[in-house]
């Protein structure tokens, strides 16, 4: 599950997935970065993406990672603009749904990465160099 930490005026969300793994999924299986929902289960409700900005971004429909921590786990950083009192409750209220949906997507990443690696291995085995 993603972790949320507040440092002074900054909030950092650290994914349970490495940034390079998210890049690999974005390249080979972009649909695996979209959480589907709605009545028929076919409506996109949240997605994970990549950002050119090191800080990344987050909104009600998506989270985009641009950087990572020293271990390579994807991170997004933003300024905290909520109330000074009961910060945990305010953060849970404002970003709780996004962290929950991110965590649901992260659960599927190991299986998706395994499929991608198998596909890449098959492709490499079929390539002949003369």
Q: State what percent of residues in the chain have pLDDT above 70.
A: 100
61-107: pLDDT as tens digits? 999 999 999 999 999 999 988 777 888 999 999 999 999 999 999 99
Contact between 90 and 83 (Cβ < 8 Å): yes
How far apart are the C-alpha atoms of 14 and 16, rounded to whole Å? Answer: 7
Total number of domains in the chain: 1
* 62 contacts 19 by C-beta, under 8 angstroms: no
Q: For position 14, what pLDDT does the model report?
A: 97
Determine whether 20 is exposed, middle or buried from the number of CB atoms within 10 Å of its CB (0-12, 13-18, 19+).
exposed
Backbone angles phi, psi at 74, to 5 degrees: -60, 140
This prediction's pTM: 0.90
Are the beta carbons of 44 and 56 closer than 8 angstroms?
no
Helix (H, G, I), strand (E, B) or coil at 64: strand
Q: Tokens 């992260």 label which residue?
A: 106
The three-class DSSP label of residue 117 is: helix
Q: Whole domain around residue 54: which residue ranges? A: 3-126
């Amino acid at each position: 599950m993603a972790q949320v930490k507040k440092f002074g005026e900054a909030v950092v969300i650290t994914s349970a997935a490495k940034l390079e793994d998210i890049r690999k999924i974005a390249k080979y299986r972009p649909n695996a970065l979209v959480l589907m929902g709605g009545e028929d289960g076919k409506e996109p409700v949240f997605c994970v993406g990549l950002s050119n900005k090191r800080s990344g971004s987050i909104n009600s429909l998506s989270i985009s990672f641009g950087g990572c921590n020293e271990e390579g786990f994807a991170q997004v950083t933003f300024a905290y603009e909520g109330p000074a009192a009961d910060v945990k409750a305010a953060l849970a209220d404002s970003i709780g749904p996004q962290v929950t949906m991110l965590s649901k997507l992260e659960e599927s990443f190991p299986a998706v990465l395994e499929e991608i690696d198998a596909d890449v291995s098959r492709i490499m085995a079929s390539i002949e160099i003369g």
